[in-house]
Amino acid sequence: MTLEIITSDSLAPFRHGFFTRKGGASSGVFSGLNCGNGSSDQSEIVAINRSRVADAMQVPLTHLVNLHQTHSAEVVTVSGPLDRQVPEADGLVSATPGVALGVLTADCQPVLFADAAAGVVGAAHAGWKGALGGVLEATVDAMLALGATRQGIRAVIGPAISQRAYEVGPEFFEQFLAEDPSYARFFAAGLGDRMLFDLPGFGLYRLRDAGIAAEWTRHCTYSDPARFFSYRRSCHDKEADYGRLMSVIRL
């Protein structure tokens, strides 16, 4: 099966893609293109999947760079292949041709950034904690330090869990209200004391509030099991583990 790669004209002319689970070598609950080294999938199979992504990005596997993601606001600037010590961070930026920046997700937002005029790209893993903590703005700031401009940066949010599938409790809601009472608009009433959180809507707001033109591809990871891995769906289905999707951009 061939790879399925979701792209956006907003990120042109840079080679990029939000990879779905199609076209991978994994089986079982990981069936498809599982790129998560942190999963319990066979490491040699994950390496095959990552090699397919690198080939699609036209870079050696050593130049496909990703992070040990911790739901933080930490961002690293990449100028070449990383050594064996993978940094703990949730955003990457680069102005170096031939380096592909990748983030892994399974409901959280993968966000790809590009400033075509400045020749600067970025990628961020933005779950609710990272988005609330400022990882999107920190990625933008790191791009500015490399010569990008706010008016030149375009950001695209890839496949992520949609509001209709993202049920949360009152403690979650209160965390957002404690940060800013206006964030209540990203929640809708659910059953009982449950609420439904609009993660992509929140990401778009934070990006646009930072002066960045942004869009969402409008793909829900939870609702499309044939195309996307989903942490929350795996929990509801009582599966032992789940695959990770990869999203990549390069100069």
CATH of the domain at 101: 3.60.140.10
Q: Give the number of other Cβ atoms within 10 Å of residue 180's Cβ.
A: 9
CA-to-CA distance for 81 and 64, rounded, in angstroms? 7
Domain count of the fold of the chain: 1
> Tens digit of pLDDT for each residue in 23-62?
999 999 999 999 999 899 999 999 999 999 999 999 999 9
Q: Please name which of 245, 250, 251, 212 lies closest in space to residue 18, comparing C-alpha atoms.
A: 245
Report if residue 175 sits inside a domain: no
> Tens digit of pLDDT for each residue in 157-188?
999 999 999 999 999 999 999 999 999 999 99
249, two tokens: 């951009």
Report if residue 123 sits inside a domain: yes
In the prediction, which pLDDT does 81 show?
85
In the prediction, which pLDDT does 217 show?
98
The low-confidence residues of the chain, meaning pLDDT below 50, are none
Report if residue 148 sits inside a domain: yes
Model-level pTM? 0.97
Give residue 211's domain range. Answer: 5-162+198-250
Report if residue 192 sits inside a domain: no
Report if residue 173 sits inside a domain: no
Report if residue 193 sits inside a domain: no
Beta strands in 26-115 (DSSP E): 64-65, 75-77, 91-94, 100-105, 109-115
Report if residue 97 sits inside a domain: yes
CA-to-CA distance for 21 and 184, rounded, in angstroms? 33
Report if residue 27 sits inside a domain: yes
